[in-house]
Every structure is written in structure tokens, then in C-alpha cells.
Structure 1
Amino acid sequence: MTELSLSKTHHPLSEEDMRLLEIELKFPLPEYFKKFYLKHNGGTPNLSCFEPDDPNYDAYEISQFLPIKDKTSDGRNIENTCQKMRKKGVFPSDLIPFAKDWGGNFFCITPNGSVIFFPQILGNPN
């Protein structure tokens, strides 16, 4: 089985960066999420297709993990994406977008650590 790796990652993060993000977003980040981002600050996965644990759901694809602090080539990071979508009333305060698929739809974490797919049916969020 091939191990997940990311290319085009951003500057490494510290525990303090994660603590400050939790304060800024008013959201407790799950430990697995912090561990992942301390290892990979955003980037493009070598494995874009992931199989869900539940066999009733189709596989999903992640084109990009959003970085923290740094910005992608299109100017996004977790902080500004979250703030922009909350301001527009698209995301409730209990969802944090951390990745997107090829169509610009988001993958978000919830306060209990679950990951949900959040399709953007209203068009470009910019």
C-alpha cells in the first residue's frame, strides 16, 4: 500500500501556530488534525482518491490541502477561507474547511473530529 505524501507543502508549523489557529477560529482542533498539519502544512497529495470507511459511500478525491498561515497560489489558506465563508453565511461556525476537491468543493472538520464533504452548489466562493 502506498503511503500518503504531499508535494508543494508550505512552511512548517509549530505547536504555537496550531494554538493560535484554535484561538483565531474559536475552534478546538482534533489531535489527529494537528499532528497531520505539523507534518504537512497543506499541499498536493500523491494519493488523491480516498475510500470512505462506510461502503455505502463512493470514493472521494482531494486535489489540495489548504495551508495554515501561508497561502496557496490562488490566495487561500484555512484562516481566510473559513472567515470568508462564515462572513458570507456559507459555513456555520462549527465547520473548518481544510481541503478541496477538483471542483472547488470543501472537506471540513467538525468539533467532534468528523470529516464532512461540503459541496459548493452556489458557485465560486470568491
Structure 2
Amino acid sequence: MTEIENSLKIKIPEQLKEFLLKHNGDMPENNTWFDPQGEYEYVTIHELTPIKYYKKFNNNKNYLMDTIAKDLWDRNLLAKNLLPFARDAGGNYFCIKINNGKIYYCTFDTWSDNLSVSDNQSKSTLFLCNSFNEFMSKLVCEDDL
């Protein structure tokens, strides 16, 4: 875990760090975010982002958390204070805000060439909840919807 934090020059919030060390990319049984306030439609986690090589992805480093984060940050698709930890089937990411542990859903299908990078990032970043543990506790099984 220290290698990733050093590589990204960040400190991963503890709740996410504990989960990653235990699961490294495994899928939770409950994998669908269903907004309790009904503000957003439900969205299903397609893949959790592994921190180290993972057989499911043929040990390809392009699927690892640090590689994905650097790529999204370098292309200005994500603010550098958001760390992607899961992806939906459409290539959008669930992210944790590094400094406070809040969870966001970042969509890329709303990107507009007519907006600045910061306006695009703001428009595409939806707040979900206050912590990783809260996020995990609110996931439901897709089959139950």
C-alpha cells in the first residue's frame, strides 16, 4: 500500500485502505449504488480497482489503481484530490476524496468542449455519501432492484 501512496504522492483514506488490503479488487455481493434520496438512478459497480496485480486482469498494470489514477489525473478528467476505486460498465468511476474520505461518482459522458476543465470536472462529479464505509453499507444487490 505504501508503494501506491508513494507513487501517487497521497495518503489513501483509512477506510478504503483497509478494504483494499483485504479484498484487492474482489467484487462485493452488493454491488449497486441506489441513491436513498432518489436523486440519481442506480448504478452498478462493474469492477473494483485492484492495488496489485490481479489474475482477473491478466496481471496487466494498466488496470491497477495507481496507473488508472495517474491517467485520469494527467488527462484532467478527474481532480487530483479524487482517487478512483471502482468503475461502472460505462467507464465512469466511483472515487474517494483523498483529504476527507467523501465518496463521489464521476461521469465522463457529460464532458463538453465548451466548458473549462474545472467546470467539466465540477459538472461530472456527483456527491454520494460521507465515507467509504457508509458507501459500502448502502450498496444493494442488483438482482434485488
Does the alignment pair 1:33 with 2:16?
yes
Does the alignment pair 1:48 with 2:31?
yes
Report the secondary structure of 1:117's partner residue. strand
Number of the residue aligned with 2:45: 62
Deviation at 1:109, TM superposition (A): 0.7
Deviation at 1:67, TM superposition (A): 0.4
Report the secondary structure of 2:80's partner residue. coil
Report the secondary structure of 1:45's partner residue. coil
TM-score of the pair, normalised by structure 1: 0.72
CA contact (8 A) 1:62 1:101 kept: yes
Number of the residue aligned with 2:77: 90
Q: Which has the larger radius of gyration?
A: 2
Q: Which has the higher helix share?
A: 2
User: Which stretch of the first structure deviates more once superposed, 34-43 or 54-63?
Assistant: 54-63
TM-score of the pair, normalised by structure 2: 0.63
Number of the residue aligned with 1:117: 105
Number of the residue aligned with 1:108: 95
Q: Percent identity?
A: 30
Deviation at 1:57, TM superposition (A): 3.1
Deviation at 1:77, TM superposition (A): 1.2
**In 2, distance between residues paired with 1:117 and 1:85?**
14
* One-letter code aligned to 1:55: Q
**In 1, distance between residues paired with 2:39 and 2:95?**
17
Does the alignment pair 1:99 with 2:99?
no
User: Which stretch of the first structure deviates more once superposed, 104-113 or 56-65?
Assistant: 56-65
> Structure 2, unaligned stretches of length 5 or more?
112-145
